[in-house]
Every structure is written in structure tokens, then in C-alpha cells.
Structure 1
Amino acid sequence: MDADTFLDELRDARGTELSRLSSSKAVYALTGGEMTGDAVRAGTARELHALTSVFDDWAETSEDDVADLFADAAVFAATSAGDFDTEAASDAATGITADALAGGETDVERLAGAAAALLVLEELTGQLVGFFVGDADRTSADEFRQFRSELGEYRDDAADLLAEHCADDADREIASEVGTDVIDAAYDWYVETLEGMGVEPKNVC
């Protein structure tokens, strides 16, 4: 298995879920129905704070290149969160991806989970860029466009390391299961959040 194959298989297996997670309804869920630029920034920052905690923990308990990747990703997530909203509470995570990563113990599990989580957030951020374009906020659109690009780089780095650490078919199966579980958890967040707001989650707009 190589990095591109892993990511392509995730997209094929969970194409519908990823499509909905990159829809305007996902922005509505992220902001709790408050479709403003400030709410988008705060919602994104909360998720990044939660990811920072996960990546920090993994950096401390992993080794070598895997530890380095998670340490760098933690700095990226924390810095981005601060850039988006300095007041967003780190204990008020939206729970899009971070909660699903908590059980990762091995390098394969952690790298697969990280790659899938960053894929989800990259897909969602595409819609956030569109939100700011529609809001005629060019500065924020460019800021989130750059953020999306960096998410993609970390996603690819995690997938590349995953490919190096998958020694056999058993590892590849574990990676696939973990990746799809993370996307499924994000989709559960999407459905449960929208249903809790009285919104039908399955019609993409």
C-alpha cells in the first residue's frame, strides 16, 4: 500500500460522507447555525485545539520520524487555532475528528487516524474558503485557502509515513479500519449536530 492508494481508498469507501462533510450544512453544524465569519473561525479553532492535545500526546509517546511529525502537526494546529480565534476555548471542542483519535496506540493506528482526520478537515475547509468568498472577505478566504494547503501537506506526510510503517496485510487492514472509523465518527458528529438543531442532514446543499 502506498500513500495515494490509502487516501484514494478512503475517498472511495466514504465518498458520500466526505461530500456531506464538505457541504454548506457542515459549516452550519460547525458554527451551531451562526453563519458568520467569527463563528467559522471559532469553530475551526476549537477543533484545532482538540487536535493539538492529541498530537502533543502522540509526539511524547511516539518515536523518531513519527514523533517529529506529530510534534510539527501539534505546533501547526495550535498556531492556526490562535490565528483564527485567540479566545476559542480549548475545552470546548466541536468533536469533528479529535475524539475519534483518542484510542490510537500504535504508529499504524495513529498515522492512519491522523491522515483521515486531516483529510476530513481539508474537505471541510474547502467549503470554508467558499464561505468567505461568498461573504466577500478576500483576506479570510486567502487565509483559509493557505490553511487548507497546509492541511493537505500534513495529511500527505502522515499517509507517506503510514505506508512506510505498514509491514504486512494485517497492518494495511488496521489502517483502513482506523481511517474509515475516523471519517464515520466525523459523519456521526455532522448528523447528530444537525439533527439536534432540527436540520435534515442528508440533503446536501
Structure 2
Amino acid sequence: MILLNDPRVREVPVNDCGEQMVSVDGIDERIAVDRSRSEIASNYDRFCYARESVTGMLRRAVAFLPRDVDFLVKEIYRPYSRQVRSFEEGLEFYRESNPELNEEALRELACQYVAPPEVAGHPTGGAVDIVLIQDGKELDMGTKFNDEPVAPENLTYTDCPFIAPEQRANRQMLSRAMESAGFVNYPAE
């Protein structure tokens, strides 16, 4: 698995394409937005804004789901300042729970859970935190939303062998739909 702090990720050139940011709220009847924001740290009112191309990808992805399953968007856009704070909070959590580890090891642990600000997709409107819903209820994905990977089970890992078959099937359904539309899964979440 390649984490977002891998040097190969940082070496990818990034250019501003000038793409417009638009709300995903209301773009498709099968794409709901969690307006409660109860499970995200950002209180920014444009949390459901994405690059225009990402909204098109979401529309294509939802078409790959069974008709009775929909998307619930938790968060897309996150201000850079919030990304920095979230990463520092994650790093501090791992410092406190693993005082024996050096900074490099702590940073690697934190990168399993929070993208380092210099490569994070949320501040660009390109990363999507999303779950599946059926009849308005979230499907069981094996962990609570925004759960942290904890060794040795690492239940947040997409291909974790320690989750129930139904949870695995739900993860596979989500992954297939998103990947069919061009999204790339971050395997630690």
C-alpha cells in the first residue's frame, strides 16, 4: 500500500487547472448530502463543493450502484487550514498513544488516517468522503465513519480480512462504483 506521505506521491507535479468548484447538493436524486456535518471537523459551509469534473464522476459512479442504493456525501471540500489542523491533531493523537515512536514513524501512522496537507485532495475539491445508503440509512461498512486505523486489525483498510462478509460486500460495491467512474480509493480508509 502506498500512503500519501510516500515520496512518489509528493513528486507528482500539480498544476492549477482553473476548474470551477460547484455544489454536489441536488446534482442527482441518488446523491444525498449529510447536512448535519456531525461526523466531520470542518464547519465550512462549502463542505459539499467539488471540482466540476468530480461532480460528473459522482453522477457516473452512482449509476453503477443497484437502484435501491444511493450515495451520502459526508465531505468533499475542506479548507487548507482545516487540513493542517486535522493532520496535526492526528499526529498528536499518535504521539500520545505511541510515545516510544520517533517522528518519522508517527508521521507514517498519521498518514494512514489523515492526508498530509502538502498532498491532500480535500483542499482541492478532489477527494470525496462518501458512504452508501439504502432507504435513507447508512449501510454497514465495518467501521464508523472517520474511524482510525488501529493495528493489528486495521479495520479501516478497504481489504481488511477481519470484517463480516456483508461489510466486505458493501465496501466492494462502493469501490466498484467509484472506480468505474475514475475515482481512486485510498486503501487505508
Give TM-score scaled by structure 1 length. 0.29
Higher helix proportion? 1
Q: RCO greater where, 1 or 2, for CA within 8 Å and sep 6 or more?
A: 1
Higher strand share: 2
What's the TM-score once normalised by structure 2's chain length? 0.31
